A and B are shown apart, each in its own frame.
Chain A
Amino acid sequence: MLLGRTANGLYWMNRYIERAENMARLVDAGLRMALTRTQNASEEWNSVLLSAGSDAAFTQKYQEYTAANVADFLLRDTSNPSSTMSSIETARNNARMVRTALTRETWESINEAWMALKRMLARRIDERDLPSVLDAIKRETALIRGSFYGTMLRNEIFDFSQLGTYVERADNTARILDVKYYVLLPSISWVGSTLDNYQWESILRSVSAHRSYRWVYEADYKPTNIADYLILNVRMPRSLTFCYRFLTEHLKFLGDDYGERHACHATAGKTQSMLTAGSIKDIFDAGLHEFLANFIRDNTRLGDEIAQDYKFY
């Protein structure tokens, strides 16, 4: 038996842990772009902020897109509710709330991550320290994930946690693609330029897939392959299909355990079959941007339905 409020806390705890890490990844990709191309760096930072869903809030506060400003806003600004610091703080507050549902190891890893990042992000980050700060964020969230997978019983508590992780991750990957969808369109005339290569690498880097891409496709960057990798590849842990494979699996466990299926099961199932049935060509033919916009909308709806069906509020 699990309280609806506890399920809600687990779900959001994991969404925010995922988000804390995604912010670091986005900054990492932006930093790489800014380092390799001195021109148009501000455009790159703009993309990063759009992917993070934080561009409007950023421009209210800053005039200039600089590495220092963006890193500060996305990593440590507590007035930005999605910054790494805000996310880890929210994740920990949720973890405190659901503490009785967590193993000691899981709780301690979250608490320690919070302590470490609070210390590290207390002051503005010196640009020279940025890479090590980004590493530390990824390390702390990896430790949380490790203790979570290593110690948690695979029951409803685990299922609700995973739902949070994968809804957030799917949303994040889809947004990264949507912000840059135009560089993946085959119709663009400057396909294959150095510039494109940077752009493509940046997309892969923001989902930590720039190396694994080569293991799978054994070739140069190709926009259709990149889109295929991030959308349809079932082995790539941040692809949309991968996320939905696990979302439907955990929803099935819950449905079986409770002996009841809800609206969220239908919604997840629909997206899942659309992803498994589709080819990347179909997606491009129908319009990549439209596909992604629909996906993001349905994914948000899935989150709302999970909350409603399992009495989060």
Chain B
Amino acid sequence: MRLAAFDEMLPEVSGLRKPYSAYDRWLKEQDPARLTEKMQDAERVFRKTGITFAVYGEQEASERLIPFDIVPRIISGNEWRRLTQGIEQRVQALNAFLDDIYHRQEILRAGRVPKELIARNEAFLPEMIGVRPPAGVYTHIIGVDIVRISENEFYVLEDNARTPSGVSYMLENRETMMQLFPELFQQIKVRPVENYPQLLRQSLAAVRPQGTKGTPTIAVLTPGSFNSAYFEHAFLADQMGVQLVEGQDLRVIDGHVAMRTTEGYKQIDVLYRRVDDSFLDPLTFRPDSALGVPGIMDVYRAGNITIANAPGTGIADDKAIYSYMPEIVEFYTGRKAILGNIPTWRCSEPDSLKYVIEHIDELVIKEVHGSGGYGMLVGPAATKKECQDFSKKLQAKPSNYIAQPTLALSTCPILTEKGLSPRHVDLRPYVLVSDRIQIVPGGLTRVALKEGSLVVNSSQGGGTKDTWVLDD
């Protein structure tokens, strides 16, 4: 099946789009053999530096590269300004929603979001009720997944408000492109992304606990070197110049979280954690967790440490909540959402379930709590048997699923052996929230490398591209 998709470089109707004109000129001057060579160079660079990720469920805990495509995804300054307005509004709403949901729950009282959606939701942490994090920020680092349908239609696919990953690829992709094609960056003005680690550090320092004396001590908490995103954790700690810690390094001493150093325990003020909520504190959440810090929640509630992102932020990016985002944005910002949602059927509602089952071969069906592209059905690409099997799963536990129309995600060309060929893409810009909201001009473009495929997740054969925001 092939959907008629909008190509961001060369749409069939209008011809080469303006943001790509300078790049296209350059590309036409290149020797195809040299480009192929550059592509192999890129792979060597990635493998040598060990920018790999582990794939769960494979026999050996093997390390794989996320394939990198050398054709950049280009966004004009104007398009970017529109996007950032929408993202800012959304991120404001997410933080306001979290503050409300863990305090007065006005939005539930107003009946704009159903009560039972919160109460029965695993992502809602009762332990966070009444807790106000330092500086009042709940979700500090957000990766908003955006898809494009046409020249002027952008939609938010997902709000990743827990621990969005991939930012290291944004940075390494740019680094690699600048190494491979320095001349391109002289000819075309691309806005820089490389100060992200500094911005992240400043942003984390700005939300330190009130009682912090002097410069706050920041650390990145990783589940360990066998985690699939370990490279990124190490990379960010390194780039920020802070310690990379594991649960086993940390302990609560005198009401503060401290890390074991060669000279004894040292206090930590801000913890950028890349460990899920349920593993954060075995005394509060999963008792079998060895990845967290026993007692850290008490320190947190006492206001003696900043945890970024705050525990319980998952309630804001839950797929069941997602369908209410337009209401949520309007409720807290008083304006209509600038960035729209994709129409979503909540299978928990009987009418929607009926519709979804009848149209299963046209829809994308996702697990409410799933991520990484696992456990989803892309109706138009599935066989009859797969649709029937999935339909049974749906009926067994409808509240576990949502459905969305199969959108013709925009495409962007990749370099193949036969030259340029369009592939579907999405975009994840990274947002930092402290006393202000900052969005790095760019983000991670994920690309479905298989022709016609709509699944861009790296665990499912997706690749990445450098994302350029033009300084025009």
Which of the segments A26-34, A95-103, A270-278, A284-292 contacts the partner chain? A95-103
The answer to whether A3 touches B49 (Cβ under 8 A) is no
Report A101-118 CB contacts with B as 1/0, cut-off 8 Å: 000100110011001000
Report B239-255 CB contacts with A as 1/0, cut-off 8 Å: 00001111011000000
Given contacts A96-B230, A99-B238, A108-B50, 5 further A-B contacts (CB under 8 A): A96-B50, A100-B237, A100-B243, A107-B49, A108-B48
CA distance A7 to B259 in the complex (A): 13
The answer to whether B249 touches A5 (Cβ under 8 A) is yes
Chain A residues in the interface with B (C-beta under 8 A) = 1-5, 7, 93, 96-97, 99-100, 104, 107-108, 111-112, 115, 156, 160, 254, 258, 260, 310-311
The answer to whether A156 touches B237 (Cβ under 8 A) is no
Min CB distance B194 to A, Å, is 16
B260 within 8 A of A: yes
Q: Could you give 16 example pairs across A and B, Cβ below 8 Å?
A: A1-B266, A3-B243, A3-B259, A3-B261, A3-B262, A4-B261, A5-B249, A5-B260, A7-B262, A93-B225, A100-B237, A100-B238, A258-B262, A258-B263, A311-B261, A311-B264
Selected contact of A5 from candidates B50, B238, B248, CB within 8 Å? B248
Min CB distance A122 to B, Å, is 13
CA distance A108 to B47 in the complex (A): 10
B238 CB contacts on chain A under 8 angstroms: 99-100
B234 within 8 A of A: yes
Given contact pairs A3-B249, A311-B260, A104 touches B225 in the complex (Cβ within 8 A): no
Min CB distance A144 to B, Å, is 14
Q: Whose C-beta in chain A lies nearest to the C-beta of B47?
A: A115
CA distance A260 to B264 in the complex (A): 12
A156 CB contacts on chain B under 8 angstroms: 262
Min CB distance A107 to B, Å, is 7
Q: Whose C-beta in chain B lies nearest to the C-beta of A2?
A: B262
CA distance A302 to B221 in the complex (A): 31
CA distance A7 to B266 in the complex (A): 15
Top 6 closest pairs, chain A to chain B, by CB: A100-B238, A310-B262, A4-B260, A99-B234, A96-B225, A97-B225
Q: Whose C-beta in chain B lies nearest to the C-beta of A96?
A: B225
Selected contact of B50 from candidates A2, A111, A160, CB within 8 Å? A111
Min CB distance A265 to B, Å, is 14
Q: Whose C-beta in chain A lies nearest to the C-beta of B217?
A: A1
Q: Whose C-beta in chain B lies nearest to the C-beta of A159?
A: B262
Min CB distance A78 to B, Å, is 11
The answer to whether A4 touches B49 (Cβ under 8 A) is no
Selected contact of A4 from candidates B50, B224, B244, B249, CB within 8 Å? B249
Min CB distance A98 to B, Å, is 9
**Chain B at the A interface: SS class:** mixed
Interface size on B, residues (CB 8 A): 23
B248 CB contacts on chain A under 8 angstroms: 5
CA distance A93 to B261 in the complex (A): 20
CA distance A258 to B262 in the complex (A): 9
A112 CB contacts on chain B under 8 angstroms: 48
B249 CB contacts on chain A under 8 angstroms: 3-5
CA distance A310 to B264 in the complex (A): 8
B237 CB contacts on chain A under 8 angstroms: 100
Chain B residues in the interface with A (C-beta under 8 A) = 47-50, 224-225, 230, 234, 237-238, 243-246, 248-249, 259-264, 266
Given contact pairs A3-B245, A96-B225, A104 touches B263 in the complex (Cβ within 8 A): no
CA distance A77 to B249 in the complex (A): 33
Q: Whose C-beta in chain A lies nearest to the C-beta of B49?
A: A108
CA distance A2 to B259 in the complex (A): 10
Most-contacted residue by chain B among A2, A115, A311 (CB, 10 A)? A311
A93 CB contacts on chain B under 8 angstroms: 225
CA distance A156 to B261 in the complex (A): 12
The answer to whether A3 touches B225 (Cβ under 8 A) is no
Q: Whose C-beta in chain A lies nearest to the C-beta of B266?
A: A1
CA distance A96 to B49 in the complex (A): 11
Min CB distance B309 to A, Å, is 22
A254 CB contacts on chain B under 8 angstroms: 262
A310 CB contacts on chain B under 8 angstroms: 262
CA distance A100 to B244 in the complex (A): 8
Q: Whose C-beta in chain B lies nearest to the C-beta of A259?
A: B263
The answer to whether B50 touches A107 (Cβ under 8 A) is yes
CA distance A44 to B394 in the complex (A): 68
Q: Whose C-beta in chain A lies nearest to the C-beta of B240?
A: A100
CA distance A160 to B263 in the complex (A): 13
Q: Whose C-beta in chain A lies nearest to the C-beta of B224?
A: A97
A160 CB contacts on chain B under 8 angstroms: 262
Min CB distance A105 to B, Å, is 11
The answer to whether A2 touches B261 (Cβ under 8 A) is yes
Given contact pairs A96-B225, A115-B47, A1 touches B263 in the complex (Cβ within 8 A): yes
A260 CB contacts on chain B under 8 angstroms: 263
A2 CB contacts on chain B under 8 angstroms: 261-262
B263 CB contacts on chain A under 8 angstroms: 1, 258, 260
Min CB distance B228 to A, Å, is 13
Q: Whose C-beta in chain B lies nearest to the C-beta of A156?
A: B262
CA distance A2 to B225 in the complex (A): 18
Selected contact of B262 from candidates A4, A96, A100, A108, CB within 8 Å? A4
Min CB distance A184 to B, Å, is 40
B261 CB contacts on chain A under 8 angstroms: 1-4, 311
A4 CB contacts on chain B under 8 angstroms: 249, 260-262
Q: Whose C-beta in chain B lies nearest to the C-beta of A254?
A: B262
The answer to whether A111 touches B48 (Cβ under 8 A) is yes
Min CB distance B78 to A, Å, is 38
Min CB distance A7 to B, Å, is 5
Q: Whose C-beta in chain A lies nearest to the C-beta of B236?
A: A100
Q: Whose C-beta in chain B lies nearest to the C-beta of A8?
A: B262
Min CB distance B442 to A, Å, is 23
Q: Whose C-beta in chain A lies nearest to the C-beta of B248?
A: A5
Given contact pairs A99-B234, A100-B237, A311 touches B48 in the complex (Cβ within 8 A): no
B49 CB contacts on chain A under 8 angstroms: 104, 107-108, 111
Min CB distance B124 to A, Å, is 34
Given contact pairs A99-B234, A108-B48, A258-B263, A1 touches B243 in the complex (Cβ within 8 A): yes
CA distance A104 to B172 in the complex (A): 14
